[in-house]
Amino acid sequence: MKTKTAWLCAALLAADLPVLAADYSGTFQGDQLTVTLKASAGRYSGTIKMGDKQFPCTGRETDRQLHGTFESEGDQFPFAAALEGDTLTLHSGGSVYTLRKQTTAANPLARPAAANPLAQQPAGAAVPSQAATNGANIIRFRKVAINDQPNMIGGEAFTFLAPVDWEVDGGIVWRAHPTMPASVAMRVRNPKGLEQLENFPTVAFSWGGYLPVTGFPQGSIYLGNEVQPPVRDAIAYLKERHLPRARANVQAKIVQTEALPKLAEAARQAEQAPLLGGPQMVFTAGRVRLEYQLQGRAVEEDLYCVLNSMALPTGNMTIQIADKLCGLRAPKGQLEQAAKLFETMIHSTRVNLQWFSQYSQLVQALTQAQMNQIRAAGELSRYISRTSSEISDMMRQSYEQRQTSQDRINKNWSQYMRGVDEYHDPVAGRPVELPSGYRNAWVSGNGEYIVTDSVNFNPNVELNGTWQKLERTE
């Protein structure tokens, strides 16, 4: 009886013990956001900064999370944040941001305390993308969310994996085009080196027919397409049109070209079959390797393109669409090795279903309208405001078909590049492709990945946190 009473008293005392609240005070910084918070009377207040915009915010901790709202142009938007160690994970509008707490500068007059040799690195602490940890070479990836412009569809447009310490510039760009109003112009680069992956916007061209006699000479814009004569194939496009525009600031020398017929066939299969009597689509794909000097060092860059050429059945007009335009750059002699990182970033791209649904509705509306009436972003915004946030079964099926087609193209690229291995990700519940040539791979609960060449490296010990080992698929 005494033992039972003692156990009951201990349980009651334990129930009355307060759970230590997390301290959200301070400044937390990520690639896209900076959050500054200050505690006062059980609540937090501060600002959320994105680019040059700053939003006041308030919140209170409940259920071991900070729940609050921020204000933008008079409207209130909810957010939730969780703190683990020095890592703040913030959720809002379907987007997820990972931020690190910024430490204050050390007082140079203060005597430093002796370092505890047994202390481990805090959970979630950043490590370089390529580092040696206890003799093990590792590469660490994080998930990057690219948000659309707030005055357009807004919210998360797509995500991809990138090395944790690489910088991301650019994102979704909008233009007056009925079938391709949005595209991606973005660079992901190593701030400590010359490696860079650059994605160029998809561009379209029209030529022939009635264009010259209706006031659309060469160089003008017709329904979003640039009026230019057709080029022979994807390699010709890269050499004759893309290179002078994209790399005019360097004295680039073409050292190699390669046609990629399998990639072209994968792109053709990804397109829906044209309607009877519609334009005949001819796909070509190619790679052009450049050499030039950058910051006093020799670099190599591979430019890729898939070109879709269509001869309209009436009007004697040709339309060409240059797609999958990207550049992979690294110091000379290191491009093949760096391609493994680039390939991982490209293949990990996942479009947000909500954004895709509203964008598809917008394209349908624009193709039914007169393009010459939609010349300003403000008018595009009015079309966007009419799109529905509900996702129909047809739109979901279209999204899944698109992702399947993109995966097919990526797989073909993988067979060509041979730079990635496929693993099963138990956290995301789907396959993930990571750089090849490493013995082990790991995934964390917040969607970060690590590949390592060491059989003894364990991020649960070396980096702390919760990591699961990935199994390579056959």
Model confidence pLDDT, tens digit, residues 59-89: 888 767 888 898 887 788 888 888 877 788 8
* Res. 93: pLDDT tops 80: no
Q: Does residue 93 form part of some domain?
A: yes
Interhelix angle 335-347/393-417, rounded to 10 degrees, is: 170
- Residues 312 and 203 placed together within one structural domain of the fold: yes
Most confident of 21-30, 197-206, 210-219, 267-276: 197-206
- Residues 318 and 441 placed together within one structural domain of the fold: no
* Predicted pLDDT at 123: 33
Q: What tokens were used for 91?
A: 């959720």
Cβ-count burial of 458 within 10 angstroms (0-12 exposed, 13-18 middle, 19+ buried)? middle
Do residues 309 and 230 touch, judged by C-beta distance below 8 A? Answer: yes
- pLDDT tens figures, 180-222: 889 999 999 999 999 999 999 999 999 988 887 788 889 998 8
Q: Does residue 347 form part of some domain?
A: no
Q: Does residue 389 form part of some domain?
A: no
CATH of the domain at 65: 2.40.128.20
Q: Does residue 222 form part of some domain?
A: yes
Section 167-177 average pLDDT: 90
The domain in which residue 440 lies consists of 130-136+416-472
pTM score: 0.64
* Predicted pLDDT at 399: 59
- Residues 203 and 321 placed together within one structural domain of the fold: yes
Q: What tokens were used for 9?
A: 């008293």
* Predicted pLDDT at 156: 93
Taking the C-alpha atoms of residue 309 and residue 110, their distance in angstroms, rounded to an integer, is: 69
Residue 385 pLDDT class (50, 70, 90 cuts): low
* Predicted pLDDT at 61: 83
* Res. 165: pLDDT tops 50: yes
* Res. 112: pLDDT tops 70: no
- Residues 318 and 421 placed together within one structural domain of the fold: no
Q: Does residue 365 form part of some domain?
A: no
Section 434-462 average pLDDT: 84
Most confident of 110-124, 138-152, 268-282: 138-152
What domain count does the chain have? 3
Task: Indicate the residue among 281, 309, 333 that finishes a domain.
Answer: 333
Taking the C-alpha atoms of residue 403 and residue 351, their distance in angstroms, rounded to an integer, is: 8
Task: Flag the least confident range among 139-143, 259-263, 385-389.
Answer: 385-389
Which residue's structure tokens are 């060092």?
A: 297
* Predicted pLDDT at 176: 81
Task: Indicate the residue among 83, 101, 119 that finishes a domain.
Answer: 101
Q: Does residue 378 form part of some domain?
A: no
Task: Indicate the residue among 311, 333, 355 that finishes a domain.
Answer: 333
- Residues 200 and 71 placed together within one structural domain of the fold: no
Distance of CA 411 to the CA centre of its chain: 19
Q: Does residue 162 form part of some domain?
A: no
* Predicted pLDDT at 255: 96
Q: Does residue 253 form part of some domain?
A: yes
Is residue 469 left, alpha or beta, with left meaning phi > 0 and alpha meaning psi from -120 to 50?
Answer: beta
